[in-house]
Amino acid sequence: MSEGKAYDLVVIGGGPGGYVAALRGRQLGLSVGLIEERELGGTCLNRGCIPSKALLYSAHVMETCERSGRFGITIENFAMDVDKVRRHKERSVKQLVSGVGTLLDRAEVDVHRGHGRFVTDHEIEVGSGDGRGRVEAEHIIVATGSSPVRDIFEGADGRNVWTSDTALNLPYVPESMVVIGSGATGMELAAAYLHFGARVTIVEMFDRALPREDHDAGEVVMRTFQRRGGRTEVNARVVRIEDAGDDKRVVFERGGQEEHVEAEVVLIAIGRRANLADLGAEQIGLRIERQGIWVRDKVDTPAADPDRPPEAMCPATQLRTSIDHIYAIGDCIRGIGLAHLAMHEGVAAVEAGQGIAAHINYSAVPTALYCHPEIATVGLVEYRAKELGIDVDVGKFPFAANGRAVCSGAREGFAKLLSDPETGRLLGATVCGTYTTEMIAELTLAIEQGLPVDAIIDVIHAHPTLSEALHEAALATQGRPLHIPFS
């Protein structure tokens, strides 16, 4: 790397937000440098979204084999091969990471390997030891991502205490596992290892597992989890992790009393922390908050507001930091985030630097949880509407009454839509069931455009498909579903 090479744009971090920002920069004719100290694709491709979905699909295949008899198919003597499951995960990751490298190479993005650290607000040092060099840029985007949190419990650094990174490497399937935390990461890995044969117990500090999800959806997922033998301990604040012979003991406090649960392995899945170590932020006066880098137009309320028109929910988004020509996106501004949101923020930040008005509707950011069954959500959830005092009409339709779901043995779950009683505008949606993460785009589009539920009702949904449940749920917000018996 040449000393002091200058670019129009330098991106620090090659995860989903970073590499997409670099590609968009090249589309706009900018000279672009990308700094990455680990693998291209960041956490998502290497230690998050992709490896977890590869493991979960292997778990899904196992479940399909177990349930094949109900469809008239007999599969005998099927078994899990841990090494082959791991290789499937590694092949998936390798193919996609290689694809990112090819995209960057063909777009003529210069990739600099090493840790990026600000020297001045226009100059970045890259590398370590004898491999140090420097690059300069007119505009800089910080996309350094996040890492798993594990250091808040006594004993968290002991033997057989895993983070999500460890669990996704699938070192082996333990006989038993305690998962601390039941957010997306904890629930997905708990589901995978439960299917692989481990006895899994979830320990959650809130009064329910999946506390941030729609409560009805969370109950469906947890019924399935418990039916397969999984256990949950809620209202349980973890105090410490200690050895218990060859096993581990997780000690938690509940109702003023200490209780515990033991297992071979403990998985800590309580969240992530923005990667800001040795960034040089203080040296250049970059403002840092508790969750991450401060950006001046960050929106923290991903809930549709019926009193605001759709265009007001997506103001011009620039993602500028306290220094005008430096932008920040993704996990490093919020501690934990979503790959698809980081990608959109990457595009918005590049465009803002070129004077292009970029918009992100933070009330229309979908979330997807790939446990069994899946949960996909956009906009308001019902319990949150109640907390905010927002009056909504609720339409809910069960997959047990959907033809495609019945034929494929996917009867669990439902579609739920929330609309504004006065205007009919769609404010939120949750879909819980098999492959329902593939159904959220239609609902996201409706919320993004500020459409009423009538827009979904007017769409002819193919039969038989799971998406017909969306049509029925939309009708149900108006009290007129066609495939639920009259009360």
Active site (catalytic) residues = 463
Q: At 416, list the tokens.
A: 């739920």
Q: Which residue's structure tokens are 């790959």?
A: 339
d(Cα 321, Cα 226) in Å, to the nearest integer? 45
d(Cα 26, Cα 18) in Å, to the nearest integer? 13
Other CB atoms within 10 A of residue 387 CB:
10
Alpha helices in 200-266 (DSSP H): 215-227
Environment class of 157 (CB within 10 Å of its CB; exposed 0-12, middle 13-18, buried 19+) = exposed
d(Cα 178, Cα 161) in Å, to the nearest integer? 10
Strand stretches in 71-132, DSSP E? 110-113, 116-118, 123-126
Query: Do residues 32 and 19 lie in contact, with contact meaning Cβ atoms separated by under 8 Å?
Result: no
Length of the chain counted residue by residue = 487
370-383 as b/e, with b when 16 or more CB fall inside 10 Å?
bbbbbbbbbbbbbe
